[in-house]
Amino acid sequence: MSDPRHIASRENPGFKTLRALSDDPRRQGRALLDGIHLVTTCFARGIAVEQLLVSESGKKNAEVDELLRGAANVECVILRDSLFREISGVSTPTGIAAVIGIPPAPTGGLSGDAVFLDAVQDAGNVGAILRSAAAAGVRDVVLGPGCAGAWTQRVLRAGQGAHFSLAIREQADLAAALEASAATSIATVARGGTSLYELDLSGPVVWLVGNEGAGLAPDLIAAASVRTTIPLASGSESLNVAAATAVCLFEASRQRLKRPANPLRA
């Protein structure tokens, strides 16, 4: 670790930059990853870390200390606990965070499956959907206007490192991206669609997922190849959007799993 700078005042220009970064990562093109798990994932995936931020009490934590030893050539800034808390966004932070550059938006077309998010507003939902997408082997996630920012701390926290396995596009024109895609596009709707379990999901799919309250925009539903609905118990209106997306992605995953060969029946 290079000789660390210390920040002890809210008036420090470096702190003001970090605060601004914490509030609006896109503006600086950088993101702040808080907590041991995300920072470790960063290093494990070979992501270039611009800066490590450590709180005074975080520095005394054995796991944090080990992380710092392994990152000898990364610039390190030590913050007074109260200042670290201000940029961390959780009430009891472990005391380590990494600043990284937000990866440039991927160029070229989509490959394989994709998830399109239309105005999914809740950061926890966006993060959980990114996590499910990565876990289901989806590579491309495309966020339209009105979605929670993918590189904000709450989404990063809920994503648990999924960001680093995904190609994420933000503020995208979903209708245009849909038109450019050759995959079957499936609009998820709360009612009236074909049962999810009757769909053949063996080929590449673009999943269209809508806003928590209003659902998908009508033009996206109209542009989709298929509309699907998850059959629910009578009396139930709908699922949480992240739960519904997980059910859809893993139904595709289930259909594609190679059944183990059974030699007795071969």
Cα–Cα dist 59/96, whole Å: 8
The only residue of 3, 231, 262, 266 in contact with a copy of itself, by rule CB under 8 A: 231
Q: How far apart are CA 45 and CA 208, in angstroms?
A: 29
Residue 201 engages a copy of itself in binding (rule: CB under 8 A): no
Q: Is the Cβ of residue 34 or residue 178 nearer to a copy of itself in the bound state?
A: 34
158 scored as a contact of a copy of itself (CB under 8 A) = yes
Measured CA to CA, the distance from residue 8 to residue 37 in angstroms comes to: 26
**Residue 107 CB, nearest approach to a copy of itself (Å):** 23
Q: 6 φ, ψ to 5°? A: -115, 140
- Residue 57 near a copy of itself by CB under 8 A: no
- Judged by CB under 8 A, the stretch of 18-26, 104-112, 121-129, 179-187 that binds a copy of itself is 121-129
167: contact with a copy of itself by CB under 8 A: no
Residue 190 in the binding site for a copy of itself (CB under 8 A): no
Asked if 22 and 53 count as a contact pair (C-beta separation under 8 A), the reply is no
CB-nearer residue toward a copy of itself: 7 or 130: 130
Q: Contacting a copy of itself (CB under 8 A), which of 27, 235, 264, 266?
A: 235
How are beta strands 75-79 and 49-55 bridged, if at all?
parallel
**How far is CA 259 from its chain centroid?**
30
What are all long-range contacts of 10-19, with beta carbons under 8 Å and residues at least 24 apart?
10/83, 10/86, 14/77, 15/79, 15/83, 15/87, 18/53, 18/87, 18/99, 19/86, 19/87
Size of the site for a copy of itself (CB under 8 A): 37
Spatial distance between the Cα atoms of 13 and 203, rounded to a whole number of angstroms: 52
| Beta strands 205-209 and 167-169, pairing class | unpaired
By CB under 8 A, is residue 244 in contact with a copy of itself?
yes
Rule CB under 8 A: say whether 229 interacts with a copy of itself.
Answer: no
Nearer to a copy of itself, 221 or 247 (CB): 247
Q: In 3D, which of 230, 224, 234 has the Cα closest to residue 244?
A: 230
Q: Using the rule CB under 8 A, is 124 a contact of a copy of itself?
A: yes
Distance from C-alpha of 112 to C-alpha of 206, rounded to nearest angstrom: 8
If binding is defined by CB under 8 A, does position 264 make contact with a copy of itself?
A: no
Asked if residue 142 lies in contact with residue 177, where contact means CB atoms within 8 angstroms, the answer is yes
Residue 160 binding a copy of itself, by CB under 8 A: yes
Task: Indicate whether 165 belongs to the interface with a copy of itself (CB under 8 A).
Answer: yes
CB of 134 to a copy of itself, least distance (A): 6
Q: Which is nearer to a copy of itself, 83 or 140 (CB)?
A: 140
Could you list the residues that contact a copy of itself (CB under 8 A)? Answer: 124, 127-128, 131-132, 134-137, 158, 160-162, 165, 195, 197, 230-233, 235-240, 242-247, 250-251, 253-254, 257
